Amino acid sequence: MADKLIIFDTTLRDGEQSPGASMTRDEKLRIARQLERLRVDVIEAGFAASSNGDFEAVKSIADAIKDSTICSLSRANDRDISRAAEALKGANSGRIHTFIATSPLHMEKKLRMTPDQVFEQAKQSVRFARNLVGDVEFSPEDGYRSEMDFLCRVLEAVIAEGATTINVPDTVGYAVPELYGEFIRTLRERIPNSDKAIWSVHCHNDLGMAVANSLAGVKIGGARQVECTINGLGERAGNCSLEEVVMAVKTRRDYFGLDIGIDTSHIVAASRMVSQTTGFVVQPNKAVVGANAFAHASGIHQDGVLKARDTYEIMRAEDVGWTTNKIVLGKLSGRNAFKQRLQDLGVTLDSETEINNAFAKFKELADRKSEIFDEDILALVGDESVTAEKEQYGFVSMSQHSETGERPHATVVFTVEGKEVRTESDGNGPVDASLKAIESHIKSGAEMVLYSVNAISGSTESQGEVTVRLQNSGRVVNGVGSDPDIVVASAKAYLSALNKLQSKADRVAAQG
Ligand code: KIV
Ligand code: ZN
């Protein structure tokens, strides 16, 4: 029987650390449900001690998700570890993931600790965590840039204290595949009790090699857990991408010889959900989940694929869930059909009120757009007005006028804590005028660092999906809005970003 490769998803923790990608508890829960549907083995739900919001998110995921192990990150101290254990109480299977930096640079400059102090703290933390839960993962942060002798000493000690998984992060994305693979192999060979733990790889993508490095850690190093995120979301250039690593191991089973428990048919839906929730658009040529990943434009390729699809395709589009781009519903579709489609798409709304809100939104959209695609439905349930969460600002309506030779003008009606406000402004273009109208009332003073428009389902008949990234007092948030009218989508995205700016609690940075 082949070994199993454990898939550890950290979209909700390391992915969320990407500036602007912070998610609300409900958003995290929705994504966790999709990860469970994907049959991800371990879901790192957050960093419970970093904020009350993250504690609540980890707790609700631990309470709701039953088929995956739920994990919380924690620094190597008793307070963080107790907080993680507390948040994980309701889990069927819970894991504490504790970490401390072990590279000379991090120990000296960041922690200001001696190697002996780090050694003691690592040992004590794992001992403390093992008294609370049976499943403890230990990560030597910046492990790949750590000295081999010291790392062996620390890892041998934490395994002796009961760490069940040892994760070796390439925190800054410095590794190259062969060397990283050999690094893991050397650790496993030199540490006498290495067979008492499962070895895990955790690679960042700064040099574009996170997936290659992770796979080398598996193939050369013998690691049996890969830490990854949907769409490769993560700080800087991101983390190892789940969809790529999973499809590589599955498609090249002849080479890797490993089993994987993932239900790949939910990959595209997961990718869309993460992209729509965070506002991080997936590049069209992204492997597996990019819009062009299975599109053949050249005549030679099209001809080949029509004759025999494997001439140019090594995976089947439907195996990763690319069958959803079809007309599913229209104006005459009823609530039951809508509810069923939500279920097929793997969306669970938490209450009848949320389903009713979503259905009302769907009807509104179907009045304006005859063909409703799955992408439209996913965008619609991502809309804040659907969920029961009370937001500070809500979009109501708008009108705008633009004509060649005239300065565009917009009037926007929106709610502030439930009360309607009407504001107007002119601007360089209709979008600029609408956002200025909103800002003239709210006066957030936030700087816009990104504005992007994307057609949800390809054509000009599609809904526009707008991402607005705002920065204020060192915080960065993304707001997403969708509507067939891109000016309205822009106003919704702007209000959504302002809501996030308003609610984002201060967090302790995991790697700070
Ligand atoms: O990249 C990293 O080192 C991490 C650790 C906290 C595991 O994310
Ligand atoms: Zn990381």
Residue 488: which domain range?
393-502
Q: Note the pLDDT of residue 512.
A: 36
In the structure, ligand 2 is a single-atom ion and the residues with CB under 5 Å from it are: 14
- Distance (Å, whole) CA 351 – CA 359: 12
Substitution site in 8, 47, 73 for ligand 1 pocket (most atoms within 8 Å of beta carbon): 73
User: Residue 175 falls within a domain, yes or no?
Assistant: yes
Distance (angstroms) between ligand 2 centre and the Cα of 398 equals 42
User: Residue 340 falls within a domain, yes or no?
Assistant: no
* Opening angle at CA 103, ends 101 and 109, nearest 5: 80
User: Residue 290 falls within a domain, yes or no?
Assistant: no
Q: Note the pLDDT of residue 177.
A: 98
Give the sign of the dihedral formed by CA 292, CA 293, CA 296, CA 300.
positive
* Ligand 1, atom 7: closest residue by C-alpha: 139
pTM above 0.85, yes or no: yes
CB 318 within 8 A of CB 325: no
| pLDDT, block means (10 residues), the chain with 512 residues | 92 95 90 96 98 96 98 98 98 98 98 98 98 98 98 98 98 98 98 98 98 98 98 97 98 98 95 92 93 78 76 90 68 83 75 86 84 79 64 94 95 96 97 97 95 82 90 89 94 93 59 42
- Distance (Å, whole) CA 200 – CA 214: 9
Residue at which a domain ends, from 278, 301, 318: 278
Tokens found for residue 362: 């769907």
Residue at which a domain ends, from 278, 311, 338: 278
User: Residue 363 falls within a domain, yes or no?
Assistant: no
- Distance (Å, whole) CA 235 – CA 13: 10
**CATH, residue 434:** 3.30.160.270
Q: Note the pLDDT of residue 353.
A: 85
* Ligand 1, atom 2: closest residue by C-alpha: 171
- Distance (Å, whole) CA 382 – CA 467: 13
Q: If you ran DSSP here, which 8-state letter would residue 106 be given?
A: I
Q: Note the pLDDT of residue 2.
A: 73
Q: Note the pLDDT of residue 366.
A: 86
Distance (angstroms) between ligand 1 centre and the Cα of 165 equals 14
Q: Note the pLDDT of residue 325.
A: 46
Q: Which of 89, 71, 207, 74 is nearest to 144 (CA)?
A: 207
Distance (angstroms) between ligand 1 centre and the Cα of 447 equals 29
Q: If you ran DSSP here, which 8-state letter would residue 88 be given?
A: T
Q: Note the pLDDT of residue 312.
A: 82
- Distance (Å, whole) CA 142 – CA 128: 23
Q: How many domains does the chain have?
A: 2
Check whether 401 is labelled as a binding-site residue: no
| Same domain (yes/no): 46, 183 | yes
Q: Note the pLDDT of residue 387.
A: 61
